[in-house]
Chain A
Amino acid sequence: MLRRSVGAIELRDVRRLFRATTGTLRRHTKEIVALDGLSLDVGEGELFGILGPNGAGKTTTIKVLTTLLIPTSGTATVMGLDVVRDAKEVRRKIGFVFGGERGLYYRLSGRDNLRYFAELYAVPPREIRSRVEELLDLVDLRPRGDERVEGYSRGMKQRLHLARTLLHRPRVLFLDEPTIGLDPIGARELRRIVRQLHEGGATIVLTTHYLFEADELCDRIAVIDKGRAVALGTPADLKSNVSDLSVVELEVFGIDAGTVERLRALDFVDSIVVEQRELRQVLRVQTRIAERAVAPLIAAVAAGQVGRVAVREATLEDAYVRLVGRVE
């Protein structure tokens, strides 16, 4: 479902610099560029994904848009309001969830946490009780609402965060890696709620490291790297960038860096990624000639080091790897 109409979010040439100090006795300050002239538009009602490697600027982008950071230069607006000048108004219209367990009062119950945050967002007193119950239902926490948060599982805390951010019926939601660290069932449940909110008309900006999640949920995706947008489009658009490629996956054992470099130098190899899985490694080789590439690839690895071999179509993850050139 793609519902782009008026701009809910606009970023124009946003730069954000941070100062970092190094050294103990002789201290030096250096500037780190977190956002380097980033420009993006998100339409109202859109579910927009931001992908990128660690340090690419995803969280900085979210923090600028949620008024927690002032851009060094450039402008950012949410629902037509400037995030620097109209910060207080912006805050009334947005909700946000940062991934992880922190950000709740652990000695209070889930229900009391929601009541308190409802006060912070000036939810009318006569609505607070019903709104809290409604949201506890939405995130399936009502039966455990009176328990202290310190006894909640990570998934429950994350669902409570989502309920917390919906208390004041925000028009724009920012979800920064909301499924990080959740077990598969917890993550699936959270994705179900996100989809439900999107269907209800909310504008959602989602950052994630899970590419299948972005593929499954997002209307459009921006891939950012080193503080700049390197690609923007629907998941299908991004995948079309690798439609000429297939992926050969080789499970190998004890392969060294020299061998990987030898494989990378083969003329039919577009890119290669090594993923460590316990004692084995998985080589993901992007190539235009998958069927004909398998035999030379196996031959290039020492005998007895190759296990399972599979050939598959390129996915959004492969498109991402091609764009940013590395995996995390």
Chain B
Amino acid sequence: MTAALRLAVQSAWVDFQEVAVNGFLLFGAVWQPFFIGVTTMYMLRHRADFDPMYVIVGTALSGIFSTLLFAGSGAISHERWIGTLELLVASPASFFLVIGGRLAGTTVFSLLSLLLAYGIAALLFGYPIAIAEPGWFAISLLFAVAALWATGMFFAPLAILWRAVGHFLLGLEYPIFALSGLLFPILLLPGWTAPISNILPPYWAAVAMHGAARGDLDLPGLLRAWFFLFLTGGALLLIAKWLFERVLTRARRAGTLALS
């Protein structure tokens, strides 16, 4: 294992141990999806066209996205609050890699919401859990969490460089749920919102995971969704890399790494 990979894995493990007892992120990964899943299934279960798989995938993705939104936008400021930011920056390790590893730990933790969503459907509402294309679903999940992790990486420096943007991002949680079709199909939205949906990784994550779980998307359709997950996630990661450099240079110029 190379030093960089070791560092990323260790960072993920440190983060995993921290988020596992972090009440705020537990809310994002467990309680919020629990309420969304139970409420939506309760409201929609009597409709003739109701598909529990749609709610399961939407609930899981909402939990993963919320956790990464909160963890990502607070990733650097959290290190500043606990006084480790200066230690990380003044170490020879890549700060981008360290935060990347930390958010990877959060991402793994956020998968709890997927288990929870299935648990709600199976145990509380008695729906059979059947994934139409398990292999494709696994690949879709992998692409989805990678793209959502990249989204978290994009939020991390953004929230530090422009504090107001950081606050604004937190307010985008539900609009992004809606624009990505996590809670209801985007066909219900006005047509002009479609281009916005198309640049959001959660939208392509939902397309791929819904399609693989229900089996109503053919392979070209899935490949298209995976390609756009790769494209949108990759673009956000590249921008994030550039923003991280800006954060470090600006912090060294302005002296803003420590709280005091």
Given that A67-B252, A69-B252, A105-B14 are contacting pairs, would A120 and B88 also be in contact in the complex, using a CB cutoff of 8 Å?
A: yes
Asked if B7 is at the interface (CB within 8 A of a chain A CB), the reply is yes
Separation of A34 and B229 alpha carbons in the complex (Å):
48
- Chain A residues closer than 8 Å to B92, beta-carbon distance: 88, 91-92, 120-122
- Chain B residues closer than 8 Å to A120, beta-carbon distance: 7, 87-88, 91-93, 98
In the complex, the answer to whether A119 meets B7 with C-beta atoms within 8 Å is yes
Asked if A197 is at the interface (CB within 8 A of a chain B CB), the reply is no
- Chain B residues closer than 8 Å to A69, beta-carbon distance: 252, 255
Asked if B130 is at the interface (CB within 8 A of a chain A CB), the reply is no
Return the chain B residue nearest A94 by Cβ: B90
Separation of A96 and B93 alpha carbons in the complex (Å):
15
Asked if B51 is at the interface (CB within 8 A of a chain A CB), the reply is no
Q: How far is the CB of B252 from chain A (nearest CB, A)?
A: 5
In the complex, the answer to whether A68 meets B252 with C-beta atoms within 8 Å is yes
In the complex, the answer to whether A125 meets B90 with C-beta atoms within 8 Å is no
Separation of A44 and B91 alpha carbons in the complex (Å):
22
Asked if A296 is at the interface (CB within 8 A of a chain B CB), the reply is no
Asked if B193 is at the interface (CB within 8 A of a chain A CB), the reply is no
Asked if A63 is at the interface (CB within 8 A of a chain B CB), the reply is yes
Among the listed stretches B26-34, B78-86, B115-123, B146-154, which one makes contact with chain A, having 4 or more residues with CB under 8 Å of it?
B78-86
Contact of B17 among A100, A102, A108 (CB under 8 A): A108
- Chain A residues closer than 8 Å to B254, beta-carbon distance: 18-19
Q: Hey, what's the 0/1 contact readout for B245-260 against A, CB within 8 Å counting as 1? A: 0000000111101100
Query: Interface on chain B toward A: helix, strand, loop, or mixed SS?
Result: helix
- Chain B residues closer than 8 Å to A287, beta-carbon distance: none
In the complex, the answer to whether B90 meets A116 with C-beta atoms within 8 Å is no
Contact of B84 among A19, A60, A66, A104 (CB under 8 A): A104
Question: Which A93-119 residues have a C-beta within 8 angstroms of B?
Answer: 96, 98, 100, 102-108, 112, 115-117, 119
Asked if A70 is at the interface (CB within 8 A of a chain B CB), the reply is yes
Return the chain A residue nearest B8 by Cβ: A119
Task: Work out how many contacts link A and B, with CB atoms closer than 8 A.
Answer: 79
In the complex, the answer to whether B10 meets A115 with C-beta atoms within 8 Å is yes
Separation of A107 and B82 alpha carbons in the complex (Å):
11
Task: Tally B residues with Cβ within 8 Å of A.
Answer: 27
Asked if B6 is at the interface (CB within 8 A of a chain A CB), the reply is yes
- Chain B residues closer than 8 Å to A60, beta-carbon distance: 255
In the complex, the answer to whether A70 meets B252 with C-beta atoms within 8 Å is yes
Separation of A63 and B14 alpha carbons in the complex (Å):
26
Asked if B173 is at the interface (CB within 8 A of a chain A CB), the reply is no
Q: How far is the CB of B104 from chain A (nearest CB, A)?
A: 14
- Chain A residues closer than 8 Å to B93, beta-carbon distance: 119-122
- Chain A residues closer than 8 Å to B17, beta-carbon distance: 107-108, 112
In the complex, the answer to whether B84 meets A103 with C-beta atoms within 8 Å is yes
Separation of A119 and B7 alpha carbons in the complex (Å):
6
Q: How far is the CB of B146 from chain A (nearest CB, A)?
A: 23
Separation of A213 and B102 alpha carbons in the complex (Å):
39
Q: How far is the CB of A36 from chain B (nearest CB, A)?
A: 16
- Chain A residues closer than 8 Å to B88, beta-carbon distance: 120
In the complex, the answer to whether B90 meets A68 with C-beta atoms within 8 Å is yes
Q: How far is the CB of A298 from chain B (nearest CB, A)?
A: 43
In the complex, the answer to whether B86 meets A68 with C-beta atoms within 8 Å is yes
In the complex, the answer to whether B82 meets A103 with C-beta atoms within 8 Å is yes
Return the chain B residue nearest A72 by Cβ: B253
Return the chain A residue nearest B1 by Cβ: A125
Separation of A18 and B255 alpha carbons in the complex (Å):
8
Return the chain A residue nearest B249 by Cβ: A70
In the complex, the answer to whether B255 meets A108 with C-beta atoms within 8 Å is no
Asked if B18 is at the interface (CB within 8 A of a chain A CB), the reply is yes
Q: How far is the CB of B4 from chain A (nearest CB, A)?
A: 9
Question: Which B1-56 residues have a C-beta within 8 angstroms of A?
Answer: 3, 6-7, 10-11, 14, 17-18, 21
In the assembled complex, 17 residue pairs joining A and B whose CB atoms fall closer than 8 Å, in A order, are: A18-B254, A60-B255, A67-B90, A68-B86, A68-B252, A69-B252, A70-B252, A91-B91, A103-B82, A104-B84, A108-B14, A116-B11, A116-B14, A119-B6, A120-B87, A121-B91, A122-B92
Given A67-B252, A104-B84, A119-B11; 4 other pairs, CB 8 A cutoff: A70-B252, A116-B10, A120-B7, A121-B91
8 interchain residue pairs of minimum CB distance:
A102-B83, A103-B83, A120-B91, A120-B93, A119-B10, A91-B92, A70-B252, A92-B92
- Chain A residues in the interface with B (C-beta under 8 A): 18-19, 60, 63, 66-70, 88, 91-92, 96, 98, 100, 102-108, 112, 115-117, 119-122, 125, 164
